[in-house]
């Protein structure tokens, strides 16, 4: 079978009828026992019964996803240490946030009964006193099996149990997709400056330890399914070609997952020895910082969970940048050219997330002005939408001026103040 046609039909065809403006949000939060003890899985799972009395119903056979009439879903992502709100996309981020606020308050009310809380951080502060607490969902079990089978030599093969993030899904028309993908990848280091909130477990000074754990895991044995994006794309065909350089590591047979040593997608589907079936593409997983999804969205997935009163700042910033993409492109290109920035997207983001001084990129005053300009570019687009969404990025102005993210020592993580 043609791997190229399979990739286009599965990932790109849905963009043919998309228009910029809709946004979907996935927000994960560490669930912590305030005493520092491990999570009681039975108590944690009781949240589903609690929400079943509030309009949520089981969305799949295994009982780990509960959905309401809005299409919003609550679940535990990978582990009972990590609770997720998946908000159905729409054209008004403030309306989406309003629904989220109601769900979050209800969830916090339930968890507080036994001295638990959801917190706004990208790494779990109780890492040293808790266990993996994996949610026994078939996909999570398969991922865990792969990580432990092919990542025995890694430091934390169960790392997804201790990480939380914000993922923004954006509608983009097919013609704009290559440019949008390229520039969201270029802005990966800027989002790290604004949103890093994942201190490491070893006190080595990481701002975003999540990057390190993903990229040093067994997923690093797969080509192009984790980490930053350094390539630039001018055409959809070039993006499709990039997909063909990615790897597969799992499939389903007789309803059960199989894992295998990573295999190039083109090779897997076009070499008969692998016994591939067309619907194996349904099992494809990728964790790139910026990704094109089978839902037909451009997904920005490298942003850390934020302090509780700025949870939607990454989603609002990403939406604003997309809606004012030409201005963002002009600003990015000007910054790179005027400051002779020759480092790759990976090198730039690694400076930020590893906790190094930002003057390794360029003069910090110049960098601050650049980041501030991008916040204003996003805010301008949100203001033009006329929905009040610009208020969601107000905390970012101070972060841009000070070049301090929530993970920095000077930052008060929960109250969004210094």
Q: Summarize the confidence of residues 89-105 as an average pLDDT.
A: 97
Q: Of 3.40.50.2000, 3.40.190.10, 3.30.590.20, 2.102.10.10, which CATH number belongs to 3-402?
A: 3.30.590.20
Cα Rg of the chain (Å, integer): 21
Sequence-ordered alpha helix ranges (H) in 58-217: 93-112, 138-150, 177-186, 188-195, 209-215
Mean pLDDT over each residue of the chain, to the nearest integer = 95
Q: Is 220 exposed, middle or buried (0-12, 13-18, 19+ CB in 10 A)?
A: middle
* Alpha-carbon 332 to chain mean position: 22
- Measured between alpha carbons, how far is 74 from 83 in angstroms, rounded to an integer? 8
* Alpha-carbon 182 to chain mean position: 17
Sequence-ordered alpha helix ranges (H) in 224-356: 236-243, 265-270, 313-323, 325-338, 345-353
Q: What's the pTM?
A: 0.96
pLDDT of 314-339, one tens digit each? Answer: 999 999 999 999 999 999 999 999 99
pLDDT of 369-396, one tens digit each? Answer: 999 999 999 999 999 999 999 999 999 9
CA angle 189, 234, 178 (to 5 degrees): 60
Question: Alpha-carbon dihedral of residues 367, 372, 374, 376, nearest 10 degrees?
Answer: -160
**pLDDT for the residue numbered 411:** 58
**φ, ψ for residue 64, nearest 5 deg:** -115, 0
Residue 414 has pLDDT above 70, yes or no: no
Q: Are strands 57-58 and 65-67 parallel, antiparallel or unpaired?
A: antiparallel
Is the Cα torsion angle 170, 47, 200, 132 positive or negative in sign?
negative
Please state, as a whole number, how many other Cβ atoms lie within 10 Å of the Cβ of residue 93.
Answer: 27
- Measured between alpha carbons, how far is 19 from 293 in angstroms, rounded to an integer? 16
**pLDDT for the residue numbered 410:** 66
* Alpha-carbon 307 to chain mean position: 16
pLDDT of 139-163, one tens digit each? Answer: 999 999 999 999 988 889 999 999 9
- Measured between alpha carbons, how far is 182 from 185 in angstroms, rounded to an integer? 5
**pLDDT for the residue numbered 417:** 40
Residue 76 has pLDDT above 90, yes or no: yes
Token pair of 194, please?
């604004």
Please state, as a whole number, how many other Cβ atoms lie within 10 Å of the Cβ of residue 160.
Answer: 24
């Amino acid at each position: 079978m043609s791997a190229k046609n399979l990739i286009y039909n599965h990932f790109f065809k849905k963009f043919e009828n998309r228009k910029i403006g809709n946004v979907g949000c996935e927000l994960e939060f560490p669930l912590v026992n305030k005493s520092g003890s491990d999570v009681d899985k039975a108590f944690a799972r009781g949240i589903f019964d609690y929400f079943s009395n509030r309009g949520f119903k089981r969305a799949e056979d295994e009982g780990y996803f509960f959905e309401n009439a809005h299409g919003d879903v609550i679940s535990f992502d990978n582990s009972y240490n990590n609770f997720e709100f998946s908000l159905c996309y729409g054209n008004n981020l403030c309306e989406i946030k309003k629904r989220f606020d109601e769900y979050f308050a209800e969830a916090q009310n339930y968890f507080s009964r036994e001295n638990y809380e959801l917190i706004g951080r990208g790494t779990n502060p109780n890492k040293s006193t808790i266990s993996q607490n994996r949610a026994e969902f078939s996909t999570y079990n398969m991922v865990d099996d792969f990580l432990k089978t092919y990542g025995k030599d890694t430091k934390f093969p169960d790392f997804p149990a201790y990480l939380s993030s914000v993922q923004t899904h954006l509608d983009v028309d097919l013609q704009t997709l290559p440019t949008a993908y390229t520039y969201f990848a270029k802005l990966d280091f800027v989002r790290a400056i604004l949103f890093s909130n994942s201190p490491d477990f070893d006190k080595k000074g990481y701002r975003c330890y999540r990057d390190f754990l993903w990229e040093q895991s067994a997923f690093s044995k797969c080509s192009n399914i984790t980490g930053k994006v350094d390539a630039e794309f001018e055409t959809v065909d070039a993006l499709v070609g990039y997909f063909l350089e990615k790897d597969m590591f799992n499939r389903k047979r007789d309803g059960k997952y199989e894992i295998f040593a990573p295999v190039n997608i083109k090779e897997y589907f076009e070499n008969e020895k692998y016994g591939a079936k067309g619907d194996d593409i349904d099992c494809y997983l990728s964790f790139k910082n910026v990704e094109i999804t089978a839902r037909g969205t451009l997904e920005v997935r490298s942003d850390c969970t934020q302090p509780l009163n700025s949870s939607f700042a990454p989603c609002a910033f990403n939406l604003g940048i997309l809606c004012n993409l030409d201005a963002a492109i002009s600003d990015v290109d000007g910054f790179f050219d005027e400051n002779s920035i020759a480092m790759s997207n990976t090198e730039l983001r690694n400076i930020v997330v590893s906790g190094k001084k930002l003057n390794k990129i360029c003069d910090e005053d110049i960098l601050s002005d650049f980041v501030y300009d991008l916040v204003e570019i996003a805010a301008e687009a949100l203001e033009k939408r006329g929905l009040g969404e610009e208020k969601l990025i107000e905390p970012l102005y101070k972060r841009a001026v000070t070049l301090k993210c929530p993970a920095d020592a000077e930052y008060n993580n929960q109250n969004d103040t210094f």
